[in-house]
Every structure is written in C-alpha cells, then in structure tokens.
Amino acid sequence: MAGGKETPRQKMIGMMYLVLTAMLALNVSNTILDAFVAIEENMQVSNENEFARGNEKKEELKEVAQDKTNPEAAKKAQLMLDAIDKVDAEVAKRIKFIDDLKVELLTMIGEDLAKKGEEAIIRTAYDSKVPTKPVRMDLANVQAKDKYDEPMLLMGINENLKAPKGKGLELWNQMNSFRAEIVKIFVESSPKPDNAPAYFFKDPKIVKYKDVKDLKKQILAAIEKSNVPKDEREEIADLYMGLTKNEIVQNHDRENIHWIGKTFDHAPAVAALASLTSLENEILTARANVISRIRSRVGGGEYSFNKVTWLANGPDLVNANDSVLVNVLMAAYDSDRQPEVTLGDQKISEVRDGQGFVRVKAGATDMTLKGTITIKKKDGSPKTLDWEKEIKVMKPSANLMLPELMVLYKGYDNKVKGVASGYDQTVLSASGGISLVKSGDVYIAKVPNSAGKTGTISVSGKSSVTGKTANLGTFTFDLKPMPTPTLFVDGQEPGGKINKRATAVNVSYGPGIPLKAVFSVQNWTVGVQGIMREATGSGNSLGAAIPVLNQGKPGSKVYVSATVRMPNGLTKKVFGEFTL
C-alpha cells in the first residue's frame, strides 16, 4: 500500500497499518498460548477426577477385604487389591517419568521453579506417598510460553522428525510398555475356574492401523490367540485401543513422521507441556477403568437399576401326575438402559422390562437357540454374556388299537412301537416271559415257546430335560404259537391245479396273515390218487416227484405233505391237496 509517489499522510497511514498488523499477530499468538494454558489446566482437572475415580473403587475393595462377615468375598477382594497394586506400580512409574520431563523442559526454558505463592508454577509437588498423582502446575505463570526449540531438543526431534531420540523415544516406549503391562495384569488377575489353564494375553504390539475398525479387528485377532476371560473380551479390547497410537503419521505436507515428531514439532513450551499432561490423562483414565472393572469382579456396585419385576421359569406343558418345578425370582433392571439381545448374529427388536423376547418357529427336530445379552454398567462400559436354550420338539401323534388283536407270537420277532405323548422319549418294558430289544424306532418283542398264555408290555414316558420317567399304561397281550403256514406248489395254493412237471414246493403265509416269517422245507412226500407209489425228497425241488406225477390222470388228486422248520426252530407238518 505504501509505495510509489505517496503523500506524507498516505505514508503515515501505511505505517499505522503495518504496526497494527504486527500487534494483531502478537495478540493472536498470545491468544493461542493462553488457549494451551487453559487446555492444560482443564486436562489437570480431568487428571484429578480420573485419579479420584480409580481411588474410589479401590477404597470400595478395601472395605470388602476388611469385612470379616464375608470371608470368601474378603479373600477375593484382597487378591484383586494385589492386582491393583501392580497396576499402580506401573502407573506411578510413567507418571513420574512424564512429570520429570515437564520439570526438565521448564528448567531448559529458564523458568524459576522455586517460586512460591501466586507466582509459583508448581502448585503441588511430587509426593512419594501418592506416586500415581501427577504434579499440579500453573502454566499461566510460565514466562517463556512460546519457546519451541527446547521441546524439540528435549524430545530428540531437532534433527529428524521421523526418528526421535533420547527422551522422546523413551517416552514412546514407556507408553507402549505401559499398555502391554496394564492389559497383562488385568487379564492374568481375572479369577478362573479350578484346573482351568492360566489366562494370558499375547501383546500384538500394534503401532499401525488404518482406522478404528481396523484397530479393533487387529486387537480381536490377538485376543483369539490368547486365553482371556470370555466375558471380558470387549473390556480388554477397549483398554488396549485407548492406549494405542499410529507410530508413523502424516503432518501437513510431510509424510512418514513419527508420532513424537508430529506432536512436539515446533510446539511452544506450553503446548508441549499440555501434550505431556494429556498422556498422563490417558494413563490415569486407563487406571480408573481397570480398577473399576477389577472392582466389579467382587460383587455389587457396577450396575444400576430402578425397577423390579418377577420371573417364573418352569415347564409350559406337563403331564398328569408329573412333579412340577418352577423357579421364581425377582429381577432388577434399569428401564433407561434396556439390554441388547441377539439370536445368533441377529439383533432382537422386541426388548422391554429388561428382557428380550425371542420368537422362532419350531422345526421337526430339537432346537438349540444361542445368542448374547448385553447391558451397560454405570460407567457406560458394556457387559456381554452368552445365552443358550435347548428346546425339545414334540412330534404330534395319535394311536388306534384293536384290543381283539393284541397278540404276540412265540418264536417270532414281533415288532412293537409305543408312543408316550407329552414326552420326548418313549420307554417300553415287558413281563410274562417277553423280552424287548430296541431296533431303530421300534422294539422287537421275543416270546419263548415256554411262555404262558399272556404277557404285558408297559409304556413309559421319559423327559430328557428333567430325567424323570412316568408309567403311562400297561397292555396285556395273548401269547400264541405261530399260525400254521400254507403249502404252495409252483405258486399254487391248496385246491389249485398243478402241472405234471411241477418244480418246487414252498411254505409261507398267505395274504390273510401279515407276518413276515421265513420257513425252511426240510422234506416232503407227494402221492397221486390211484397210484400206489409215493415220491419223497428234501428241500424245495420236486424233481424226484415227476415220475409219480406223470402216472396220474388229468383231474386226479395230488397229496403233498412237508416237514417245515418254523422261525422258532421247531418243525411242523404242513399238508396240501391239488389237482392235476
């Protein structure tokens, strides 16, 4: 603006603009520095809150550990306190390291840390009795707020943003080792069933990921390769994610910059101090979360509820004279935090009164329904449990009996099938000499030749759910010898016509008797009306009878008798009369 042929007045106005611009730049710079001071102050307040949150849960555990009225809970609480002490040891180590970095940086920029009163930078000094609590500072009293060379030098990035050295590299390693140690302590301190393998977490050392989804995927893959409590997997993943950063990042137009380089590159002293306080906040937040979750392992305190309801669980269908067991309980739930219920991978939409209502259609076979139920604790973290329900599917059935035909045959494999309606298993038992053998979905009832005139078979129903068996009925059967079979010649039954060259004799039941019995012809005799000579033979072939049959006249009667072995092993004479 001020150039060329300008009047004195124009030159003066140009100079004023130049001074004003410089003043505005200074004001903006001071405003930014003051903003970092405010951010750091808020972060310190947050640190105090997180420190207190962790201590509150720790104190609750101490009370349980000192409660002599519940020795089991006290013993468990002490074990959890031992784990928290290990957590605090790791926390204290990192808090002290970062606080020392802050003090070193303030010394490098020439600040007087010995000042007291309102001008003091250090408001609350390090206390070895409370090593997990950070030093309290007031950065408003820092004089050299805008110095940026010293932070870069301290963090070892003054020469190369891509490869920090010294304290900067040590800070990065300290944060990653803290992540590994705190997750390890959390996992290994979880109570496990007797004789179960020890819990462990194999640190995947994640320092590179595309986005939150990719980070979660990598962590869950690492959890699968470890042995961690199933109901704490989400908590482990959240804890690990909260302490994970991409090691190599992009900073404006520069690529492959180390996280330390990006965070502290030309950062004013107060900005660098605010970043260090932010790391302490991550550590204290992780501490509070871990202590809260460890506290939840020893009963009470983690879940909220504002309503109660009754639940009665028992069978929906029973049989007469059955014993019925109904479990009645009062359930508490938070009407403002309804659970999330899934069936398999599908989310259930019908959720109310603290319950999920799962509706399915029964198939032809027994069903196993599986899913998850998730509720949120007071601190907002989810608690997920697997659920499983076995459902026995009853097949509709009907029976029709013919009392006059209640017969079992001696020496025969009688097939018997019973149905115990209302039960998923049917059991048969017998008396009176009857023996039963299960074969597929039927029973084979065997009756010896020595059995009496009657026997009984009882039908019982058994529930595989309760294990109880109930007798549903006893049925009486007549026990009879097997009917006499029919003798056939070349397929002709008695009374039929046969050829003079008849070839075979067979014995079986006709269509009027539905028994599937097999008979064996031992020997036979064939006689022809008017012929003195008879033919005899064994087996089914009638070849030896042809000479006799050839002597007969057409229309002559032919008499055939056979000795037959029955299915029960006994032999029986069978007769038949035919016509040539």
| Tens digit of each residue's pLDDT (9 = 90 or more) over 340-361 | 999 998 998 998 888 888 888 8
- What does the pLDDT read at residue 241? 94
Nearest to 460 by CA among 424, 500, 432, 484: 424
- What does the pLDDT read at residue 25? 45
User: For residue 409, what are its two tokens?
Assistant: 């045959």
CATH class (in words) of the domain with range 403-480 = mainly beta
Would the CATH topology of 307-391 be identical to that of 403-480? yes
* 176: Cα within 13 Å, side-chain hemisphere: 17
CA dihedral 434, 437, 443, 449 (to 10 degrees): -30
Residue 273 has pLDDT above 70, yes or no: yes
What is the pLDDT of the chain when averaged over all its residues?
87
- What does the pLDDT read at residue 21? 46
Nearest to 240 by CA among 266, 204, 274, 209: 204
**Distant-in-sequence, close-in-space partners of 508: CB < 8 Å, separation ≥ 6:** 485, 486, 488, 517, 519
Find the mean pLDDT for residues 272-291: 94
Q: CA 446 to CA 431: how far, in whole Å?
A: 11
Find the mean pLDDT for residues 378-400: 73
- What does the pLDDT read at residue 319? 57
* 323: Cα within 13 Å, side-chain hemisphere: 9
Residue 46 has pLDDT above 80, yes or no: yes
Residue 370 has pLDDT above 60, yes or no: yes
- Name the percent of the chain lying above pLDDT 90: 57
Measure the CA angle with vertex 535, ends 530 and 539; round to 5°. 145
Residue 379, helix vs strand vs coil: coil
User: For residue 551, what are its two tokens?
Assistant: 């002597």
Q: CA 577 to CA 493: how far, in whole Å?
A: 9
Q: What is the CATH number of domain 307-391?
A: 2.60.40
- Using the structure block, give the residue that is written with the tokens 């910059």: 257
Size of the chain in residues: 580
Which of 61-70, 297-306, 362-371, 520-529 is least confident?
Answer: 297-306
Find the mean pLDDT for residues 159-180: 95
Beta bridge partners of 446: 435
Q: CA 273 to CA 173: how far, in whole Å?
A: 19
- What does the pLDDT read at residue 26? 45
Find the mean pLDDT for residues 96-100: 96
> Where are the domains positioned within the chain?
8-295, 307-391, 403-480, 486-579
- What does the pLDDT read at residue 4? 47
Find the mean pLDDT for residues 369-378: 85
pLDDT tens figures, 116-169: 999 999 999 999 999 999 999 999 999 999 998 999 999 999 999 999 999 999
| Banded pLDDT at 3 (limits 50, 70, 90) | very low
Nearest to 98 by CA among 275, 287, 290: 275
pLDDT tens figures, 240-260: 999 999 999 887 778 889 999
Determine whether 393 is exposed, middle or buried from the number of CB atoms within 10 Å of its CB (0-12, 13-18, 19+): exposed
- What does the pLDDT read at residue 375? 87
Residue 1 has pLDDT above 90, yes or no: no
**Distant-in-sequence, close-in-space partners of 128: CB < 8 Å, separation ≥ 6:** none
Residue 19 has pLDDT above 70, yes or no: no
Find the mean pLDDT for residues 354-373: 85
Find the mean pLDDT for residues 452-481: 87
**Distant-in-sequence, close-in-space partners of 40: CB < 8 Å, separation ≥ 6:** 137, 139, 270, 273, 274, 277
| Banded pLDDT at 184 (limits 50, 70, 90) | very high
Residue 391 has pLDDT above 80, yes or no: no
- What does the pLDDT read at residue 320? 59
Nearest to 74 by CA among 90, 85, 63: 63
Q: What is the pTM of this model?
A: 0.55
- What does the pLDDT read at residue 315? 66
pLDDT tens figures, 475-510: 999 999 999 999 999 999 999 999 999 899 999 998
Find the mean pLDDT for residues 306-335: 71
- What does the pLDDT read at residue 18? 55
- What does the pLDDT read at residue 471? 84
pLDDT tens figures, 138-148: 999 999 999 98
Q: What is the CATH number of domain 486-579?
A: 2.60.40
Residue 232, helix vs strand vs coil: helix
- What does the pLDDT read at residue 321? 61
Q: Which helix (H) or strand (E) holds 50?
A: helix 8-65
| Banded pLDDT at 28 (limits 50, 70, 90) | very low
